A and B are shown apart, each in its own frame.
Chain A
Amino acid sequence: MFDWLFGSKPACDQPSTATSAAARPPWAALSLESRHEVLSEAQVVPEAANCVQCGCCTYNCPMGIDVRAHAWRGLPVRDSHCLTCSECVKRCPRGVLRFERIPLLTRK
């Protein structure tokens, strides 16, 4: 059920078995439980060290946000236009982007 969020769906439509507890540790289920939570409380956060600046994220952003520029500077996408639609998170071929709860003190 989190495929839309974590983008782990295989590209080809092979039969896939259920994910075991091992491959899906408890924090995967504990973080940002619903789409509603992502919409209201999450921001896209990069792991700058893993970014290869390919630009796939920027290309797929429907709002035209330069996600790559955030990624290589290691900055969360705080752009008010960000819909948290998850396109960039899903499509990043290097798994650089993830959703994270916006820290309370910086939430506007």
Chain B
Amino acid sequence: MTVRAPPYVIVGSGIAALSAAEALRERLPQAAIAMISEEPHDFYSRPGLAYVLRGDFPEKRLFVRTPKDLRDLNVERITARVDRLQCEQNELVLANGQRVRYACLLLATGALAVPPTFPGHDLVGVVKLDGLDDTRHIIALAKRGKSAVVIGGGITALELVEGLGARGLKVHYFLRGDRYWGDVLDEAESSLVMDRLRHEGVVIHTKTQVAQALGAGGKLTGVKTQAGAHIPCQVLAVAIGVRPRADLARQAGLKVEKGVLVNQFLQTSVPNVYAAGDVAEVFDPRSGTTTLDVLWPTALAQGKVAGANMAGERRPYSKGVAFNVTMLTGLKVAIIGAVGGGKNDDLVAIMRGESESWRLLPKSWVISDRDDANRVRLLVGERRLVGALVMGDQSWSRPLQRLIVGQADITPIRPALLESGMASLTQLAAFYQQWERSQTPDIPSGLSRSS
């Protein structure tokens, strides 16, 4: 049964889908736009789930558009799972058998947590944090539970540790390796986060893996580690990485690697099918490589470009410097550009809130500041800064982002930076202020005084 033929169809309902719909609507006020996803809820902020889990604010605040915004957007929402994509017929087949035809399609199906495989992974109490329903489920479990085990080594794992801790559970945090988030943080930064967790009462078990989840009557009662230890718990939260939901594209014969491969216009190997957000692996003609980002701001930016191109424009998506600010144990941490290259034993796939490009490590010299919780780490390349990590006080975050994104030529101060490390940051500050003035001669920089 063919229901209708809206020319523009979006699969997914995350931020890439929403921003694409808004970009389309802005350009085509009369067009029929349909959005299909299994998500029963209105658009909400996925990164905000961590703060709801922690109890910072109520769930209703997560919804990012008012009812009026949604009326103005005028998108037909279809709550259903898409089973098949048939590109030759320009048609989607839904789980209930309905067929939806399109003239132009966007795949914005996002990424989902990699499921655990240990015995007992299907017990009630083994959880992940993908969406709002997961968050509700964890909050409900936490009300009845006394202790929890969290496994995984990234932002989501830490959000689960902090959220469950804030809800009064005794949290055991399992790390496969010997430190937290080893491919992005340096040793000092990892220990800082781990010390702060311990201070909050979290028990960190390094070099520890789950052998089995134990249960009774279908419910989780504890875990057994590979070393044979038994830890009773009612919640076992797993955040070992996410995988792009690319099955639909793969089955349809689109080119797929880790994600759905798209060109710089975010077109897949079939020209009237686009992909954006966590599911898209974007080709960059300048570097000749493809990158997968699981970052909210990237998904938003890609959605905008995909929407514009679906409406007939020809806008290239230009990948900027990957940037994210996140809260780790109450410390703001800004990660800009390439900062890593280390190993992370705790991930089997890319993590939510992460960019593959962070793990690159071009030839660079690392200088870092040691000042308790406030840290700045710079990766100094041949002529430019290639990356930075700012932890705690964020005064340096925006200037460093500007310098890295703007590819400022730091040749004049590079010898000083390499010679005297952080002592020369005073010089970098002076350099930045001068550079900023040369960028925008008429507007005083945001943080500097316009004297």
Interface residues of A (CB under 8 A from B): 6, 8, 10-12, 14, 16-17, 19-28, 30-31, 45, 47, 49-50, 52-56, 58-60, 68, 72, 91, 93-96, 98, 100-101
Contact = CB atoms under 8 A, between A and B. Distances in A.
Contacts of B446: 45, 98, 100
Interface residues of B, number: 58
Given A55-B45, A55-B57, A14 B398 contact: no
Contacts of B430: 26
B62 A26 contact: no
Contact of A53 (B57, B64, B450): B64
A23 B296 contact: no
A96 B326 CA distance: 11
Interface of A is mostly: loop
Contacts of A28: 393, 395, 447
Nearest to B59: A55
Interface string B397-423: 111000000000000000000000011
Given A52-B297, A55-B64, A23 B393 contact: yes
Given A14-B196, A31-B448, A24 B393 contact: yes
Contacts of A14: 195-196, 199, 373
A49 B297 contact: yes
Contacts of B426: 21-22, 25-26
The 9 tightest CB contacts between A and B, nearest first, are A11-B330, A54-B48, A23-B374, A55-B61, A52-B47, A28-B395, A59-B57, A22-B425, A20-B371
12 contacts: A12-B196, A12-B199, A27-B399, A30-B448, A30-B449, A55-B45, A55-B64, A56-B61, A59-B61, A93-B327, A94-B332, A95-B332
Given A27-B447, A98-B447, A6 B394 contact: yes
A98 B445 CA distance: 13
Given A6-B395, A28-B395, A23 B376 contact: yes
Given A27-B449, A93-B325, A94-B326, 10 more contacts: A10-B392, A11-B331, A23-B376, A23-B393, A27-B447, A28-B393, A94-B47, A94-B332, A96-B325, A98-B398
Nearest to A55: B61
Interface in B383-399: 392-399
A84 B199 CA distance: 33
A95 B425 CA distance: 22
B374 A20 contact: yes
Interface string B325-359: 11101111010000000000000000000000000
Contacts of B330: 10-12
A8 B371 CA distance: 14
A89 B200 CA distance: 25
B95 interface: no
Contact of B369 (A8, A22, A50, A98): A22
B208 interface: no
Interface in B56-75: 56-58, 61-64
A91 B445 CA distance: 23
